[in-house]
Every structure is written in structure tokens, then in C-alpha cells.
Amino acid sequence: MGLTGRAIARSCGLSPSTVSDYLGRIKLARLNWPLPAELDDDAALEQLLFPDEHKPKLNRPEPDFARIHEELRRKHVTKQLLWQEYREQHPDGYQYSQFCEHYARWCAQLSVTMRQTHRAGEKGFVDFSGDGLELVVPETGERQKVKLFLFVLGASSYTYVEPVLGEDLATWVGCHSRALEYFGGVPQVVVPDNLKAAVQRPDRYEPELNPTYAELARHYGFAVIPARVRKPRDKAKVEAAVLLAERWILAVLRHQRFSTLQQVREAVRPLLEKLNERPMRKLGKSRRQLFEEVDRPALKPLPAERYELAWWKKARVNIDYHIEVDEHLYSVPYQLELVSKMDQGA
């Protein structure tokens, strides 16, 4: 009838793009109105307008995306290399673009938020749990809250958990040493929160670390990159581990009564091993299996000796050439008294 595409769309209740698609297919098939008698069958007309949809679909072998996801955590492994290995096993498999597209769809099922890529042996994440258990001292009846210290490796999610009574510097440093010994190695980077035991002055670009924590990092050979303030996704691994520990450790022990910290640690230890042995739903492997395959070979070796805790203090030299530390006086070279006066602007 000579109507425009938009007029046809309004008349038929279709979108203009659908009408344009049909008109293009009709032109390609060189059809006119009225239709030839041999096309009075709907199936014949459909096959003429949509020939591609009637071709048999190739049943291409599906890649093992869980294994691919695990392999990509290894150093120097790329999707291009894994695709080549896939095509060597399945010559009729996906082309590279389809391979990447299907892998991206598989990854989208793991989380609705952007996922961080964790390389083997690269990062460890540390934090304390918010909730905890209650400890009652029999002699005094005093009630104390026992929190959990957690250290999680990024690539394998392998987790170390230790019950503690506080978040002081000595506890913080000691837990790090015992966690690294539990792993049997050291990651390249540790990502803590901005608690005082780790960071004295938070800053997005140049945070000022606690001197003792900085010395601990130098001793074990890891870099410290604190999470940004109020950015929990910077340490999403340990946030998720805290949630798992609260569900599979704290919740399991909720009815038990403890009188010493050692009792809590003995109760937590088998539950931690059970957590690390549980298969992860999407990957089909446990944290321990991934740790042995991915993280352990990439961790740096431990130093010969454990770090010895030290506190740092800025002491000023008095007029009698002595400094005071923990209510004790220590003599120093008299020249430092002049330096101390200069620092004070004298």
C-alpha cells in the first residue's frame, strides 16, 4: 500500500526495527505481493525468510571454566594461552571471541559486583571479626569477649583464624607471625584495615604505618597496602571470610562455655580445618586444594627466625644527658642533648 516503515509498525503493533528487519529479509528473498502459490505454507515462508535459524546448530564442547578460572590466577597465564590449549583438545571448539564471551558469562554468576583478580601468592587480607564468643574467668566471674583474627590469601581463599582478647599491637603482630607460619610462606602484599596497630595516619596515597608493623613487614618481606577508609570492597576477601567464620565457627560454638583463651583456641582449630576442607560451590574444590595447587608454590619463603616484637618511642634528651623509657633513665652521648634542643626550636 506504499506505507512507510513507521506507519506499518503502528498498524501491526510492532517496533520500527522489527518491521525494518522483515522488509530487509523480504527484499533479500526477492519476494513480491501477492506471494507465489508455493509459499502458502507458513513453514516454507519462514525457511525462506530465516534460513540461518534452520541450519543445524553445532554442539561445541564446553570449556571447563572452573579450571580456567583457577589457572588464570597463576603468574603469566593468559586467556589466549588457555584458549589455545582448549582448541588443541577440541579443534571444533569455540573461537577465541566466543571463548572469552562464555567465560565472562560464567564469571558473572560468581558475584553481582565487580570481582578482583587475585594472582597466586600476591595478596593476603587481614581483619578482626565484629562478633565473638564470651569467656568467663571462674575465679573472678569476669566476662571477656573473644574475637577472631583472620588472615586470608587472595588466590585460594585459604584462611587462618585465631581467637584473641583484643586488637592491641602485640596481638596484631603475633597473629601475623603465626598466620605466616601456618601458611608456610609469605605473600607479596598484605592488605589490613586502618586500625591503630597497623596505620597511624590513614591516607589514600601515602598512609603512615605503625613503626612496629612496618618493621614486621620488612622482616618478612611483604608490602603493606591498607584498604581505603570506608571502602570494604578493597578487602572483600577477608570480609567474606569473617562472615563464613561467624557462621561456621562462632555459630557452632555458641552453646559452649569457656573459661580460658586456650580452650577457645582448641575448639576453633578443628572447625577452621573443616572450613578449609569444605568444597567451594562454584569452583568445586576446597580452599586447601587451591592453596596447595596455586598459592603455596608462589609464596615467598619464611625468614630463618620469627619477628621479635619491639615498640618504638620518640624520647627527648634531658639536660643531664639521659632519656626516660618505662620509668627508667638511660644515659646517651651529650651531643644528642644539643640535637634535642634544636628539634624543640631552642
What residue type is assigned to position 172 of the chain? W
- In the chain the domains, ranked by start, together with CATH numbers, are 5-54 (no CATH), 65-108 (no CATH), 123-298 (3.30.420.10), 313-346 (no CATH)
Alpha carbon distance 346, 330 (integer Å): 23
* Maximal C-alpha separation, the chain: 117
Does residue 153 contact residue 256 with C-beta atoms inside 8 Å?
no
Please tell me the predicted confidence (pLDDT) of residue 14: 85
Please tell me the predicted confidence (pLDDT) of residue 38: 72
Please tell me the predicted confidence (pLDDT) of residue 346: 46
Please tell me the predicted confidence (pLDDT) of residue 113: 43
Alpha carbon distance 344, 325 (integer Å): 19
For the chain of 346 residues, list the mean pLDDT of each consecutive stretch of 10. Answer: 85 86 83 76 76 61 85 80 88 87 81 61 91 86 91 93 94 96 95 91 87 95 88 78 88 89 94 92 85 92 93 82 88 75 58
Please tell me the predicted confidence (pLDDT) of residue 236: 80
| 3-state SS assignment for residue 323 | strand
Please tell me the predicted confidence (pLDDT) of residue 342: 56
Please tell me the predicted confidence (pLDDT) of residue 57: 53
Other CB atoms within 10 Å distance of the CB of residue 15:
11
Q: Which three cell numbers mark 292?
A: 596447595
Alpha carbon distance 314, 27 (integer Å): 86
Q: Which three cell numbers mark 162?
A: 585465631
Alpha carbon distance 150, 175 (integer Å): 9
Please tell me the predicted confidence (pLDDT) of residue 34: 78
Q: How far is CA 221 from CA 91, 176, 185, 189, in A?
A: 45, 13, 11, 9
Alpha carbon distance 123, 305 (integer Å): 22
